[in-house]
Amino acid sequence: MSFINYSSREINCKIVYYGPGLCGKTTNLQYIYNKTNPQAKGKMISLATETERTLFFDFLPLSLGEIRGFRTRFHLYTVPGQVFYDASRKLILKGVDGVVFVADSQIERMEANIESLENLRTNLTEHGYDLDKIPYVVQYNKRDLPNSAPLDELKKLLNPTTVPDFEACAVSGEGVFDTLKAVAKLVLQELKSGR
Amino acid sequence: MAGPGMVMYEEEFHKISAVIDKLVKDANAKVVFLVDKNGQMIAACGEVENLDTTSLASLTAGNIAATGGLAKLLGEKEFSILFHEGERDNLHISLIGQRVILVVIFDDRSSLGLVRLRVKKCGEELAGIFDQLMKKAEAEAAGVGGVSPFAEITDEDIDNLFRE
């Protein structure tokens, strides 16, 4: 649910990074944070446990520049990936404008990916959203690992509707900005079409 | 989609700013700000110069969302007021008209009683303005020819944002 402010001439949009535990959602945000100009970003907030697992959410405000005299601002959020934090995950999806599903490419995490994707769909439905209708992209993270599953298998299992998808290695940053750009673009296009 | 996004117009923004500006004075508060439930800052008044208002907004919304989740688990509709007491500053958070969050930061120049009293009055006023705002936004959205200023955004405009 975007927030258009005619008074300060700003558009604010919310993007949520979703995915199974340890798939690299926080790492995506950290990379974006580290590679963005100081004037284009705000403080990154991580509500995490002592062992650096996301407890509630990470938050990173980004300013992308102007479009027709309006400053475009994106608020990036991650959800806690661990299964038992479902109540918190649901809360963070409230008012979302675009979703990135970060999949863990490792073969042994395939079931966790599928479970998380189903959970995403269910939680969106509870907020009245349909995953097939909102701006949505998929990222296959950890492509650098030797035990990663073949790309076409991942595509078949996790992206049957063939939304834009990207291979990534969030630690080194590969594919991170491509993913962000793609989802931001879809969100703006949605805004353009006026829903 | 789950309803249209929030829209803020100049006229209502000034009305809202005037109301919360008055609240800062009436409640002897340091800072007063308004956030929508999704974590977007709507307006802020008072000593905001050294405050990271964007982060405050997102954390406040997270706080309200978590408290709302707790309320539901207990069979309550919502907990409409939250109060955090610190050594120096205190935080009074209240929900207005189910969709915006009013946050008051105050220190020992004021008191919880005073803040509660002033917030209650101001809340009704704000709820009225937001009702108006919603109606206006809905009317404009339904208006002939689609008044969204973004209807004319071209793909090129969007691409330009991402040019390095």
Q: What is the pLDDT, as a whole number, of residue A161?
A: 96
Query: Confidence class of residue B140 from pLDDT cuts 50, 70 and 90?
Result: confident
Residues of A in contact with B150 (CB under 8 A): 4, 11, 67-68, 70, 188, 191-192, 194
ipTM: 0.82
Q: What is the pLDDT, as a whole number, of residue B148?
A: 64
B137 Cα to chain A: minimum distance (Å): 10
Contact state of A5 with B59 under an 8 Å Cβ cutoff: no
Query: Confidence class of residue B145 from pLDDT cuts 50, 70 and 90?
Result: very low
Kindly tell me if the per-residue pLDDT of B2 is higher than 50.
Answer: no
Enter the tokens of residue B8. 């803020």
Residues of B in contact with A45 (CB under 8 A): 55, 58-59
Q: What is the pLDDT, as a whole number, of residue B147?
A: 52
- 3-state SS of chain A is CCEEECCCCEEEEEEEEECCCCCCHHHHHHHHHHHCCHHHECCCEEEECCCCCEEEEEEEEEEEEEECCEEEEEEEEECCCCHHHHHHHHHHCCCCCEEEEEEECEHHHHHHHHHHHHHHHHHHHHCCCCCCCCCEEEEEECCCCCCECCHHHHHHHHCCCCCCEEECECCCCECHHHHHHHHHHHHHHHHHHCC
Contact state of A87 with B1 under an 8 Å Cβ cutoff: no
Query: Confidence class of residue B12 from pLDDT cuts 50, 70 and 90?
Result: very high
Are the C-beta atoms of B81 and B64 separated by less than 8 Å?
A: no
Q: What is the pLDDT, as a whole number, of residue A17?
A: 98
Query: Confidence class of residue B98 from pLDDT cuts 50, 70 and 90?
Result: confident
Low-confidence ranges of chain A (pLDDT < 50): none
Residues of B in contact with A15 (CB under 8 A): none
Mean pLDDT of all residues in chain B?
89
B161 near A CB under 8 A: yes
Contact state of A6 with B151 under an 8 Å Cβ cutoff: no
Q: What is the pLDDT of residues B48-81, one digit of tens each?
A: 998 999 999 999 999 999 999 999 999 999 898 9
| pTM (two decimals) | 0.91
Q: What is the pLDDT, as a whole number, of residue A99?
A: 98
